[in-house]
Amino acid sequence: MDFTLNELFEIMRASAGEDESVSLDGTVLDREFSELGYDSVTLLEITSRVERELDVVLDDSVVFEATTPRVLLAAIDSALQSRAG
């Protein structure tokens, strides 16, 4: 099972809303979360929701290493594969 960009955006919006000046679409995969208006506290909330909703455990370092949606998606997909393993 792959976790999609749209699913991530849904959780991001539910966690902290969406900066009106930033469009969450496929072009933001490699933009820093800080550029998108999401700080480290919000990223903690996002990863916590992902863990609850998908029943996975993300390594604590994910919050600090996942600086873009692409990196976070890869970490989520890795956790999902490990769980299915």
d(CA 27, CA 55): 28
Higher pLDDT, 52 or 36: 52
pTM of the complete model: 0.84
Grade residue 85 by pLDDT with cuts at 50, 70 and 90.
Answer: low
Helix and strand numbers, DSSP H then E, in the chain = 4, 0
pLDDT of residue 38: 87
pLDDT of residue 26: 64
Instruction: For the chain, list the domains and their CATH numbers.
Output: 5-18+25-84 (1.10.1200.10)
Q: What is the pLDDT of residues 13-42, one digit of tens each?
A: 888 765 555 566 668 889 999 988 888 888
pLDDT of residue 16: 72
